A and B are shown apart, each in its own frame.
Chain A
Amino acid sequence: DVVMTQSPLFLPVTLGQPASISCRSSQSLVHSDGNTYLNWFQQRPGQSPRRLFYQVSNRDSGVPDRFSGSGSGTDFTLKISRVEAEDVGVYYCMQGTHWPPWTFGQGTKVEIK
């Protein structure tokens, strides 16, 4: 199984400041079709997960452009350019290249300082 490792696991941030979350996979996520199936999810307190990005950097509808996804191979990053209060929650990366199983990172908890 592909192991997804996120860092940090806890990220206190100041409002208006940038934030960055790293996600590393135990093997390359480049599929034989050339695509890279790496998703990012946000889970606000008390809510279901919400997909933010698919295939590394494709932003889902309604996701603010202060969020960005990047990376390749085994190293991926989710960035928030200026953190807002509504961004508090837990962020997960997930790979969909080598399945089954689809595997998630441990989650990174973002909170305001």
Chain B
Amino acid sequence: QVQLVESGGGVVQPGRSLKLSCAASGFPFKEHGMHWVRQAPGKGLEWVAIIWYDGSNKLYADSVRGRFTISRDNSKEMVYLQMDSLKIEDTAVYYCVRGYFSGTWPFDYWGQGTLVTVSS
């Protein structure tokens, strides 16, 4: 069965960095694009970033562009989110979400999320 397991969340001071990881299993990972979506405490969902199946293209929300970097390692079936220059408003649960591949439609599987708290 499809599994997405995020890790790496924690408490970090403003201006510092944190790297999130997402371990994927149960599907042909190297064929799928992958997204990160976040949810601030008590708030709605916000798309953060996408990486193409082969890592050839990456897109970001305006709110994180230039500070966050999405990457993947298909040999390890992992996707990452490097978060630099963190701001208090980056505090959220970060979800790893499966993207598109032929015959499937994106956002069909979500991880359990990892909480990032940016606080001094």
Residues of chain A whose beta carbon lies under 8 Å from any beta carbon of chain B: 39, 41, 48-51, 54-55, 58, 60, 92, 94, 96, 99-107
Contact = CB atoms under 8 A, between A and B. Distances in A.
Given A101-B62, A102-B50, A107-B45, 14 more contacts: A39-B105, A41-B45, A41-B107, A48-B110, A49-B110, A54-B107, A55-B105, A58-B105, A92-B44, A94-B45, A100-B47, A102-B35, A104-B44, A105-B44
Contacts of B107: 39, 41, 51, 54, 94, 96, 102
Nearest to A37: B105
Contact of A50 (B45, B50, B110): B110
Interface string B87-120: 0000000010000000001111011110000000
A103 B47 contact: yes
Interface of B: 35, 37, 44-47, 50, 59-62, 95, 105-108, 110-113
Q: What is the interface of chain A mostly: helix, strand, loop, or mixed?
A: loop
B47 A104 contact: yes
B45 A60 contact: no
A74 B34 CA distance: 27
Given A48-B111, A104-B44, A96 B50 contact: no
